[in-house]
Amino acid sequence: MLHKCSFLYKYCMNVTFTCRTQDTLVMITSSLQTSVAVFALIILHVSALDTFKAAVYEHAVILPNDTKTPVSLDEALFLMNKNIDILEKAIKQAAEQGAQIIVTPEDALYGWKFTRETIFPYLENIPDPQVNWIPCQDPHRFGHTPVQARLSCLAKNNSIYVVANMGDKKPCSSRNTTCPSNGHYQYNTNVVYDAKGKLVARYHKYHLYRELQFDVPEKPELVTFNTAFGKFGIFTCFDILFHDPAVTLVKDFHVDTILFPTAWMNVLPFLTAIEFHSAWAMGMRVNLLAANTHNVSLKMTGSGIYAPHSPKVYHHDMETESGKILFAEVDSHPRNSSTSPPAVNWSAYATSITPFPGPKNSFRGFISRDEFNFTKLSESAGNLTVCQKELCCHLSYRMLRKEEDEEYVLGAFAGLHGRRRREYWQVCTMLKCRSTNLTTCGQSVETALTRFEMFSLSGTFGTEYVFPEVLLTKIKLAPEKFEVLEDGRLVNKNGLSEPVLTVSLFGRWYTKDVHSISGGTSNSATTYLMIPTLLMIIVLQYAVMV
C-alpha cells in the first residue's frame, strides 16, 4: 500500500492523512492547494475495479389469486415473502458465484393489474437514501417495512448489491390539489441495497404503462450511485424508450452501467426484450443489466447482461414456466475498454451516396399501427433504397440463396408511433414477411430459413439516437456477428449469417416527440455529484482502511 500513498502524495496538497501497511507507517502532510473533490476522485480511481461480475434473475412471479379485492397487510406480506423466498435462492447463488450485484425484475414481488386500492397493502414507505439507513439493522425506523428489512438483510448477509422493484407510498395533504383521494401518492419503485445492506438508491418510475395503481412523479428522477466497480444509473421498463431519464443518465451523468428491472411483453418485429435491450446498450455505449419477469401467457421473457459491443449473456424462453439466473463479467468502465465500439455518425454514409435506383415493386404496409413504405428484395442480391418523409434507407445485400417460400422487404418509417402518436420514430428495416403474401409483411414471424452472405443497412437519420438490431430465427441474437461502422452502416461480419428475421436501425428523435420531457436532477443523483462533505468522509474512511 506504500506505493499508493506515494502516488496520492504526488497529486494531493490539502489533506493530512495516514497510509499504513503491515510494517510501514507513512504520514503525508500537505499545504493548501487542490480540492478535496480532486483527491476523492483519485482515491476512487486507485481503488476501482476494472471488471465486475453481474447477475440478473428472470423471475416467474407467484401472482395473487385476486387483484380486484383488497387484502390485509398480512396477506399481502405472505404473498411477497413467497416471491422473496425464490429471489433469496437466486441472490445466494449469485453471491456464491462471486457476483457483486444482482438485478431482479419489475413487479417481482406481487405482479400487476391492481387498482389503487388493492395495491395499497403491498406498499411501504421507502425513504430517500440520504437518510443513511440499513433496514436490516433498524427495521422500524420508517414504520412498517418488513419487505425492505428482508431485502436489506439478503444484501448484507450475502455481501452483494441487490436491486429490487416494489411499491412506495408517500402521504400527502388534502390541501394539495394533486393529492389522491386516499391521501397517498403511490409509486412503482426500484430500490438498491449495497453489500452492507444500506439503501443507496431509490427510483420512482416515470413512464408508466397501463399502471393505474401508481402515480407519475412530478418530474423524471435521475438516480445514480457510485461503487468500486463503476457508476450506476437506474430506471424501469417503459422508461427506456424515452429521453428522460434514460438518455440523460448516460449523456449528462456519464454512468457506466444501467440497472433495468422490467416486466416486458415481447412485440415483434422490433421490440422483443433481448432485441431492443441489446440494441440500446450498443447505441448508448453502456452496460445494461436487464431482468425481466417470466410469464409465457403474456409473452414476458427476455433478460440479459449487455455490453456496448455485444451481448454477454441473454435468455429468451417461451417454452417453460421457470425462472433463470444469468451471470457475466463486464467492464466497469466500458467506454474506456478496448472493445468499446466507436462513436457513430448515423447518417454519414447514407447522406454521402446517391440513392439506389427506385424500385418498381414498392408498396405500403403496416407494422402495428405504423404505415411503412416497403420494397421487396426480388433478387438474391441487390442494392435498394426506400424513403419516407425525411428518411431514406439504403440496403446492399447478398443471400446465400433465395428461398422460394420466403419474402423479405426493405422498409422505412418516419413519424409519430402507434396509437399514442407521441413518440417520433425513424426506422430502417430489412425483415422477413409472415408469408409470400406481401400484405403479411410486418406481422409477427419467429422462424426463417434465409441466410445472408452480406448485408449493409444505413439511413439518413435526423437523430443521433439509433439502436442497431439483428434478430435471428427462433428469436435469437447474433453476438459478434454484426457491427456498426463509424459512418452509420450496420453490416454483418465473420461470414455467413444464421437465418435472419430482421435487421433494423431503430431511431428515436426525441425532440420531435409530442410533449417532450426535459430532464431534472433528483436528490439521489446530486448527492453523489456535489457534496464535498461526503467526499471528505470517503477520504478519511480510505485513510483508515489502508
Strand ranges in 353-407 using DSSP code E only, listed in sequence order: 362-367, 370-376, 381-388, 391-399
Active-site annotation holder among 5, 12, 53, 106: 106
Element (H, E) at 490: strand 490-492
237 is known as an active-site residue:
yes
Q: 320: closest CA among 337, 340, 297?
A: 297
Q: 274: closest CA among 110, 472, 29, 60?
A: 472
What are the distances in angstroms from CA 41 to CA 97, 168, 225, 532? 30, 33, 14, 11
The answer to whether the beta carbons of residues 285 and 263 sit under 8 Å apart is no
Chain CA centroid to CA 264, Å: 12
Chain CA centroid to CA 398, Å: 34
Q: Which residues pair with 124 in a beta bridge?
A: 168
Active-site annotation holder among 12, 136, 237, 433: 237
Chain CA centroid to CA 115, Å: 27
Chain CA centroid to CA 40, Å: 28
DSSP track, 201-254: EEEE--S-SS-TTSPPPSS----EEEETTEEEEE--GGGGGSIIIIIHHHHTT-
Which residue type sits at 492?
A: N
3-state class percentages of the chain: helix first, strand second, coil last, to nearest 5: 25, 30, 45
d(CA 229, CA 476): 30
Task: Copy the grid coordinates of residue 56.
Answer: 440478473
Active-site annotation holder among 53, 198, 205, 376: 205
Q: 468: closest CA among 313, 344, 293?
A: 344
Residue with cell 428522477: 221
Phi, psi for residue 93 in degrees, rounded to 5: -65, -40
Q: Which residues are catalytic?
A: 106, 205, 237
